[in-house]
């Protein structure tokens, strides 16, 4: 499954946040026989629709979609030139499908900042520089063979051009993700290089709890990483939240003036930047959110439930979440109102589709 790698300088609150994340671990509940690596946290994708559906179809069992985070420990500065730990750090990032950078924006004189001062932009620069240098190294290593392949017509000129463009972007100190969002390069054109900075980035600013509702403060930080997504949380506050039961946690959030926990936001944004979406099934046995890639067709989605469903796909009975709830989950009513859609093999799944697949065995 796709994973999000958590990176950051030492003492920024990574472990505090990661431990809070893993306390939300859903694997243990739903997949009791799965083995979980100690540095991996599988958290539920928050979805307010699921309890609503569960009540309508009278089931207790809810299975949410999940988001997988991997805590990438290791040194940062000098990683790109380093051996041992540095290499391991980069290899772990290479395996992740998206990068979540935790950045310290909280003040606390008792906790030493590795660079001696609280400067989020500078911290981001330190980390991204290592990733950029590693990517430049990748390109340097690839170029001699690429030039040979180009002469031998084994690769296209366009691939060489895109690689050189990528090199220029990196040399200017920017990530490929940043440049791609600005429309300067198409990630697909350099996919074969598997560059670290071509992965989607999310920035998590670990801020003092007093700043969680300080919109001006947050906007400044958000603007500094835009168009990448920024999330604001207080790692210690999140940690305390995960120790409470649902009602108490909700109250603590409300008291802090927050609609949603930072970890829930992180799960949602992370799921989205991985290019994932869900479709839903609602039956007496369970209500479930299944994860698929954006743009997948009905047979591909069916294959996530069971490979036989994809092979023997006939059609999909689809009703939107809103229509399902509007009809109080009554199939006869949904049919009467003409809200049941019969979709064929070319149908592209939409978020919020409640589906029943018909298939041959
Ligand atoms: P890591 O090195 O990035 O994993 O950082 P840790 O999670 O170990 O945190 C380093 C220190 O900062 C610990 O003493 C934490 O208790 C503390 N810490 C983490 N988050 C916060 C925060 O939001 N505010 C304050 N004041 N301290 C924090």
pLDDT at 24 over 90: no
Ligand 1 atom 14, closest CA: 111
Q: Which of 235, 240, 256 to mutate to test the pocket of ligand 1 (most atoms within 8 A of CB)?
A: 235
pLDDT band at 157 (very low <50, low <70, confident <90, very high): very high
Determine if residue 16 is labeled as part of a ligand binding site: yes
Closest ligand 1 atom, CA of 102? Answer: 3
Determine if residue 78 is labeled as part of a ligand binding site: no
Average confidence (pLDDT) over 186-192: 96
Predicted pLDDT at 171: 98
Predicted pLDDT at 308: 85
ipTM score for this prediction: 0.96
What the chain holds in terms of domains, given with CATH numbers, is 1-51+62-277 (3.40.50.300), 295-359 (3.10.20.30)
Determine if residue 126 is labeled as part of a ligand binding site: no
Contacts of 128 (CB under 8 A, 6+ apart): 175, 197
Length of the chain: 361
Determine if residue 239 is labeled as part of a ligand binding site: no
pLDDT at 28 over 70: no
HEC assignment per residue over the chain: CCEEEEECCCCCCHHHHHHHHHHCCCHHHHCCCCCCCCCEEEEECCCCHHHHHHHHCCCCCEECCEEEEEECCCCCCCCCCCCCHHHHHHHHHHHCCEEEEEEECCCCCCCCCCCCCCCHHHHHHHHHHHHHHHHHHHHHHHHHHHHHHHHCCCCCHHHHHHHHHHHHHHHCCCCHHHHHHCCCCCHHHHHHHCCHHHCCEEEEEECCHHHCCCHHHHHHHHHHHCCCEEEEECHHHHHHHCCCCHHHHHHHHHHCCCCCCHHHHHHHHHHHHCCEEEEEEECCCCEEEEEEECCCEHHHHHHHHCHHHHHCEEEEEEEEHHHHHHCCCCHHHHHHCCCCEEECCCCECCCCEEEEEEECC
Ligand 1 atom 2, closest CA: 11
pLDDT in tens, 35-65: 566 688 888 999 999 999 999 999 999 999 9
pLDDT in tens, 296-321: 999 999 999 998 888 899 999 999 99
Measured CA angle at 266 (ends 60, 246), to 5 deg: 40
Asked whether 82 lines ligand 1 (CB < 6 A), one says no
């Amino acid at each position: 499954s796709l994973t999000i790698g958590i990176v950051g300088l030492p003492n920024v609150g990574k472990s505090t946040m990661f431990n809070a994340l893993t306390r939300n671990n859903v694997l243990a509940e739903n997949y009791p026989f799965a083995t979980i690596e100690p540095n991996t946290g599988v958290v539920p994708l928050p979805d307010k629709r699921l309890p609503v559906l569960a009540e309508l179809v009278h089931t207790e069992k809810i299975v949410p979609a999940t988001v997988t985070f991997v805590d990438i420990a290791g040194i940062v500065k000098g990683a790109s030139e380093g051996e041992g730990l540095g290499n391991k750090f980069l290899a772990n990032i290479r395996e992740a499908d998206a990068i979540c950078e935790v950045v310290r924006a909280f003040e606390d004189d008792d906790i030493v900042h590795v660079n001696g001062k609280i400067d989020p932009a500078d911290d981001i620069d330190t980390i991204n520089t290592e990733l950029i240098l590693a990517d430049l190294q990748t390109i340097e290593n690839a170029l001699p063979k690429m030039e040979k392949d180009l002469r031998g017509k084994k690769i296209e000129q366009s691939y060489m051009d895109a690689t050189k463009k990528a090199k220029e972007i990196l040399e200017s100190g920017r990530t490929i993700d940043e440049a791609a969002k600005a429309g300067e390069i198409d990630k697909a054109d350099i996919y074969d290089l598997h560059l670290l900075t071509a992965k989607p980035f999310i920035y998590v600013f670990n801020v003092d709890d007093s700043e969680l509702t300080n919109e001006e403060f947050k906007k400044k930080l958000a603007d500094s990483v835009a168009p990448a997504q920024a999330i604001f949380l207080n790692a210690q506050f999140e940690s305390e939240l995960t120790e409470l039961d649902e009602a108490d946690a909700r109250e603590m959030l409300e008291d802090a003036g927050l609609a949603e926990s930072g970890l829930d936001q992180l799960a949602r944004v992370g799921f989205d930047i991985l290019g994932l979406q869900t479709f839903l099934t609602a039956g007496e046995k369970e209500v479930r959110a299944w994860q698929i890639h954006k743009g997948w067709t009905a047979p591909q989605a069916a294959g996530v439930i069971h490979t036989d469903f994809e092979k023997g796909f006939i059609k999909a009975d689809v009703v939107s979440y809103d229509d399902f709830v509007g009809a109080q989950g009554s199939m006869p009513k949904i049919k009467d109102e003409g809200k049941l859609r019969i979709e064929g093999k070319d149908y592209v799944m939409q978020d919020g589709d409640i589906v029943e697949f018909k298939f041959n065995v």
